[in-house]
Amino acid sequence: MKSHILSAIILTFCCLLFLAVLYPLAMFGIGKAVAPNGGQGEVMEANGRVVGYARVGQNFSDDRYFWSRPSAVSYNAAGSAGSNKGPSNPDYLATVQARLDTFLVHNPGVRANQVPSELVTASGSGLDPHLSPQGALVQVARIAKLRNLNARDLELLVTQKTEQPLLGLFGTARVNVLELNLALDNLK
């Protein structure tokens, strides 16, 4: 037994050297060389300052911007979480109804069946950076009016910023909200 313990401890330290020191350091080095922003996370800039992480969603609730999805953690990227509300929870369903009502008030002329469900539900991480194309298009009329822009131009912008499924075959089409709003600010 004693020899087992001693062997186990020494073996553990050997493994630690390889798996907990060399492996992460090597990956850190490779990341510095090849990953976007040296492995510190891809950022987006506007007017010479960092305005956000490309992959991390942020809160947009201003009517002049495309809204992002509701978030259970208010887009706090230092404490990601979903709502974890069950599908039959009455309080939760009331919240969804309230979100829908709010959305319809801010977007006059839009009917409930034009609102895709992601605009009234929270994402898994609370940091979803995307909307579906429909989720962006349904907001175009509101933004066009507030910014005095042509709705056609905005629709075109959404289409331009839509990321198609992988190789056109696999997955979902989506729009990165931060990227879209940055482009929106640059639109003349």
Partner 1 sequence: MNTELLGVLAIFLLTLAVAWPMGRYIARVYSGERTWTDPIFGPIERLFFRVSGIDPNRGMTWVEHLKALLTINFVWFLMSMFVLMNMAWLPLNPDGNPSMSPDLAFNTSISFVVNCNLQHYSGESGLSYLGQIWLMFLQFVSAATGMAAAAVLFNALKTRQRPFRGVGVGTRQFLRLFPEIQHPHFVALVILVTIILMLNGSPMTFEGKDTIVGLQGDTVQVSRGPVAAFVAIKHIGTNGGGFFGANSAHSLENPNYLTALVQLFAQLLIPAAMVFAFGFYLRRRKLAIMIFAVMTIGFLMLVIPNIVSEMKGNPAISAMGVDQSLGAIEGKEIRFGAAMSGYWSILTTVISTGSVNAMHDSTMPLSGMNELLAMMVNAFYGGCGVGILNFFIYLIIAVFIAGLMVGRTPEFLGKKVEAREVKIAMITALLSPLLIMGGTALSAWMIVQDPSLPWLNNPGFHGFSEMLYEMTSANANNGSGFEGLGDNNPFWNISTGIILILGRFIPIIGPVAIAGLLASKKYIPEGAGTLKTDTSTFGVMIFCVIAIITALSYFPALALGPIAEYFSMQ
Please give the structure tokens belonging to residue 2: 């004693």
Please give the structure tokens belonging to residue 13: 């330290």
Tell me if 50 contacts partner 1 by CB under 8 A. yes
Determine the distance from the C-alpha atom of residue 75 to the mean position of all C-alpha atoms in its chain, rounded to a whole number. 9
Q: Please give the size of the binding site for partner 1, defined by CB under 8 A.
A: 106
Q: How far apart are CA 180 and CA 51, in angstroms?
A: 13
Residue 22: Cβ within 10 Å count: 11
* Cβ pair 147, 128 in contact under 8 A: no
Interface with partner 1 (CB under 8 A), residue from 116, 145, 147, 162: 116
Tell me if 49 contacts partner 1 by CB under 8 A. yes
In angstroms, give the least distance from the CB of 184 to partner 1.
Answer: 10
Please give the structure tokens belonging to residue 181: 């709003």
Site for partner 1 in 74-103 (CB under 8 A): 75-90, 92-93, 96-97, 100
Interface with partner 1 (CB under 8 A), residue from 132, 137, 139, 158: 132
Site for partner 1 in 135-164 (CB under 8 A): 135
How would you class 67 by CB atoms within 10 Å of its CB: exposed for 0-12, middle for 13-18, buried for 19 or more?
buried
Beta bridge partners of 186: none
Interface with partner 1 (CB under 8 A), residue from 48, 166, 186, 188: 166
* Cβ pair 49, 99 in contact under 8 A: no
Between residues 11 and 156, which has the closer beta carbon with respect to partner 1? 11
In angstroms, give the least distance from the CB of 142 to partner 1.
Answer: 16
Where does this chain touch partner 1 (CB under 8 A) — which range of 116-124, 139-147, 148-156?
116-124
